[in-house]
Structure 1
Amino acid sequence: MSSGGPMGWVDPKKYLWLLGLFVPSFPFLAWGLAEATGSGFFWWSGPVFLFGLFPVLDQLIGKDAANPPDSAIAALEEQRYYRWCTYLYLPLQYAGLIAGCWLWAHGGLSVADKLGLALTLGAVGGIGINTAHELGHKTEAHERRLAKVALAQTAYGHFFIEHNRGHHRRVATPEDPASARLGETFWHFFPRSVWGSLRSGWHLEKARLARTGKGPWRASNEVLNAWALTFALFGALLAGFGPEILPYLLIQAVFGFSLLEVVNYLEHYGLLRQRTASGRYERCAPRHSWNSNNVASNLLLYHLQRHSDHHANPTRRYQALRHFDEAPELPSGYATMIVLAYLPPLWRHVMDERVLAHYDGDLTRTNLHPSARARYGAAG
């Protein structure tokens, strides 16, 4: 049997998934290039790679819509090689963070250099949230624990609870803080999603404990123990390298979780699950997620851009996620779309017509932001 499954099928991207480990190498590349050239520009390598290099690669490399055959999926998911591609992200992630703290404290960097390094480390932590996303959906206890470890750097441990139990239940509805509405800019969505997700994660975990007759203030509260990892991590780093690193630790954390939120913004922008005759929302389908098959961003994000299949099969491993022809397609990969999301006029110019086309011009079927009704001419 070959590497992908029966009938001689071979996964053509099998060894390309190792390129995902390029991301946690950002701080080491920045350090090496800055030392070799004497230029502080390279401390900013993380944002440059994310917002400059990867959008270009999305266009140059193009798309791949091929799916593994159904008969190969079970065998493909069982191969432990793919799991190690995600597991190895974590030691590199934290080696980079420790190196960054040493550089902030003892590296003789200017304030501008330290800020660039903070954003570079934040890029690693932000993509690390996606690694946590992949691990946190799995049934194996050790992978779920590793997800919490990956989230500690960005102080976003509640994501582990809210995403799995909240977002996946409410996706593409006005009740979901992580589903962006038509006409809503990223800069309005960002605080709504951050605060709404935090509140949702806490209430979901509080309700889980209440069903067993327990209060929320206990070590078994998964939100609290996830946050405790962040306090322990930051406390250890501050004890080891001094309080002067605290502003940069906070900057990298905020930049890191902002990357998660901008991805949340573009994944379901304007899409709405309709009410059935019973008044309940219809089941989530491929048409409720924006997808992309751009190879560069997919390798960077462990196939996150095949988001429709992820919502249909949350425990399915990234290497087996499939493309659906009926899913709405983004004009480029996530790396490019993140840049557009930061620029609301350009985002609306590119995306609003796609949302309307997806619903044949019927605004009543979109997840329309209330304040945008006048702009789009919606009634009621």
Structure 2
Amino acid sequence: MAGMVFDNSAARDPKRYLWILGLIAPGCALLPSILVQHTGLQLFWWIGPIIIFLVIPLLDVAIGEDGSRPREEDYAALTEDRYYRWCTYLALPLQITGLFIAGYLWADPGLDLVDKIGLATTLGVVSGVGINAAHELGHRAEHLERRLAKIALAQSAYGHFFVEHNRGHHARVATPADPASARFGESLWQFIPRSAIGGVRSAVRLEGERLSRRGKSWFSPNNHILQAWAITLALFGAMVVLFGWIVLPFLALQALIGITLLESVNYIEHYGLLRSRRPDGGFARCSPRDSWNSDHLVTNVFLFHLQRHSDHHANPGRRYQTLRSSEQAPQLPAGYATMILLAAVPPLWRAVMDRRVLAHYGGDRTLINTRPGNGRQISPAR
């Protein structure tokens, strides 16, 4: 009987036993000191960015894409299979344990400044990927998973994301009103402050409106943003008590890197895309055409199918293991890690992506989410 369950599960999802590899990212938090101790190579303080921006892109190229789609008749079984939930749950203890270990190492006067920056960068990568776990958990109706989402956001001090992503971004995605939807012609470095500041403002307003409808003040204990920020204060406060005030620059730097990584992914996911209009002038329901998609297998396993973003926005209730590739969705030429590196150099990004945006809309600029004042002429991709 046990063998039959194993076989049936594998048949429903050929990648079933790969999803545990999604724990590599939070596991990076535990690796630096171990690798440095056993190899003597100080380079391993930087293991996080090495894995994210070197190893994974190379594996994406070597292994290629996976366009498989779960069968509709398997949807219910895949959704209820708790194995997939544990793959995200287990990321949290790895993430938090690694943060405390890194805080201890940062407080050690024997660690030089360059190595400390490498350690903080690795933990910042873990923090950014931790927001991805929070993204998956925060979409769920179960109270446990929603609480875990707030914990996952604590390391990056980005607790308002719990509110803004679900009730702001998903409602306004691929429209000029959404701060997290990048506009055509807008560089990554212009986008990040606009999205970060706009996201906080939107979350504060949305949560205030929700509480007001329930007859509560913004400073109510029921405020989801205050709950998430309180977890950050408790976490950072515990770090200061254990390791002293010297740990504060580490906490600030790793959080900043994590936020930058998240906003870089936001930039990639909807660059230049605009939802179609209804006859009454309003925006149509979000479709797979309104998000950039990528089927590169390694990054999708590593990020719990985040790159199947088109299906996620068209069907936000789907758990990550059930997300499908869509023929309607515009396709990125590479996985997220490679695209982030391109986005960091705006001329390279525009050379690669602007033609794809225009091709997606048949060259019609009126259909594009365009940055005000952007008049650059680009030919559609052939």
Shorter-chain TM-score: which interval? over 0.9
Query: Partner residue of 2:271?
Result: 269
**Which residue, 68, 93, 111 being the options, matches 2:70?**
68
Query: Partner residue of 2:212?
Result: 210
Please state if 1:223 is matched with 2:212.
Answer: no
CA contact (8 A) 1:9 1:72 kept: no
Q: Distance in 2 between matches of 1:264 and 1:154?
A: 16
Partner SS, residue 176 of structure 1: coil
CA contact (8 A) 2:354 2:378 kept: no
Query: Partner residue of 2:86?
Result: 84
Residue by residue, what CA displacement relative to the aligned partner does 1:131-165 show, whole Å, maximum 9, x if unpaired?
Answer: 00000000100000000000000000000000000
Query: Partner residue of 2:376?
Result: 375
Query: Partner residue of 1:348?
Result: 350
Residue by residue, what CA displacement relative to the aligned partner does 1:317-341 show, whole Å, maximum 9, x if unpaired?
Answer: 1111011111100001111111111
Residue by residue, what CA displacement relative to the aligned partner does 1:174-218 show, whole Å, maximum 9, x if unpaired?
Answer: 000000001000000000000000000110000001112221012
Query: Partner residue of 1:279?
Result: 281
CA contact (8 A) 1:21 1:88 kept: yes
CA contact (8 A) 1:123 1:256 kept: yes
Query: Partner residue of 1:291?
Result: 293
The count of aligned residue pairs is: 376
Deviation of 1:9 (Å): 3.3
Q: Distance in 1 between matches of 2:6 and 2:12?
A: 5
CA contact (8 A) 2:12 2:78 kept: no
Deviation of 1:26 (Å): 1.1
Unaligned 5+ residue runs, structure 2?
A: none
CA contact (8 A) 2:174 2:270 kept: yes
CA contact (8 A) 2:30 2:94 kept: no
Task: Please show how residues 161-176 of structure 1 align to structure 2 within 5 Å.
Answer: 161-176=163-178
Deviation of 1:224 (Å): 1.0
Q: Distance in 1 between matches of 2:291 and 2:26?
A: 28
Query: Partner residue of 1:336?
Result: 338
Q: Distance in 2 between matches of 1:371 and 1:265?
A: 19
TM-score normalised to the size of structure 2?
A: 0.96
> Bigger CA drift: 336-345 or 105-114?
105-114
Please state if 1:155 is matched with 2:177.
Answer: no
Task: Please show how residues 136-155 of structure 1 align to structure 2 within 5 Å.
Answer: 136-155=138-157
CA contact (8 A) 1:4 1:72 kept: no
Deviation of 1:78 (Å): 0.7
- Kindly report the root-mean-square deviation, in angstroms, between the aligned alpha carbons of the 2 structures: 1.5
Please state if 1:258 is matched with 2:260.
Answer: yes
Residue by residue, what CA displacement relative to the aligned partner does 1:64-91 show, whole Å, maximum 9, x if unpaired?
Answer: 0010111001101111111100000000
CA contact (8 A) 2:29 2:95 kept: no
CA contact (8 A) 1:272 1:366 kept: yes
Deviation of 1:347 (Å): 0.5
Q: Distance in 1 between matches of 2:193 and 2:26?
A: 27
Q: Distance in 2 between matches of 1:340 and 1:111?
A: 28
Q: Distance in 2 between matches of 1:266 and 1:112?
A: 30
TM-score normalised to the size of structure 1?
A: 0.96
Q: Percent identity?
A: 58
Residue by residue, what CA displacement relative to the aligned partner does 1:220-266 show, whole Å, maximum 9, x if unpaired?
Answer: 11111111111111011001101111101100001011111001000
Which residue identity does 2:242 align to in structure 1?
Answer: G
Deviation of 1:107 (Å): 6.5
CA contact (8 A) 1:105 1:245 kept: yes
Q: Distance in 1 between matches of 2:11 and 2:60?
A: 26
CA contact (8 A) 1:3 1:76 kept: no
Query: Partner residue of 1:22?
Result: 24
Residue by residue, what CA displacement relative to the aligned partner does 1:38-95 show, whole Å, maximum 9, x if unpaired?
Answer: 2221101111111111111111110000101110011011111111000000000011
